[in-house]
Structure 1
């Protein structure tokens, strides 16, 4: 499985993504593509998306921890790796 979340995609890339993925919300793409196709899609995104696109790609893996996170451009939330486990840092907000 591959999930792609973007801040803004070039129109040509967004149209191409709709061939392989469903788009449950604007700029959120989900697909159950095989590993080899997921790798091809990720390479395509790295080649055709500028850093301003703000992409986060989450790909399922057959080994622990079961997923891999990749980004293009600066993420809104930082990603930290602890013992090979990629985690997204959430900040606490006080009410």
Structure 2
């Protein structure tokens, strides 16, 4: 499975994404493509999206923990890695 969350996509990239993905909400793309196709799609996104696009890409992998997160551009929330597990930092508002 491949999930792509975007702040802003170029129109050509968004049109191409709609070929492979379901878009349940604006700029949220979900697909069950095979691993080899997922790698091709991720490579395409890295090649055609600027850092301002603000992409978070989550894809399933066969190694533990079963998923991998990658970003194009600075994420709104920082990501950290703890013992090989990628996490997104949430701040508490008191």
TM-score tier, shorter chain, comes to: over 0.9
Q: Could you tell me how far 1:71 is from its partner in structure 2?
A: 0.3
Unaligned regions of 5+ residues in structure 1, if any?
none
Give the structure 2 partner of residue 19 of structure 1.
Answer: 19
* TM score, norm. by length of structure 1: 0.98
Give the structure 2 partner of residue 62 of structure 1.
Answer: 62
Q: Let me know the Cα RMSD of the aligned residues.
A: 0.4
Matches within 5 A, 1:1-95: 1-94=1-94
Unaligned regions of 5+ residues in structure 2, if any?
none
| Shift >3 Å, 4+ stretches | none
* TM score, norm. by length of structure 2: 0.99
- Equivalent-residue separation in structure 1 for 2:25 and 2:56 (angstroms): 15
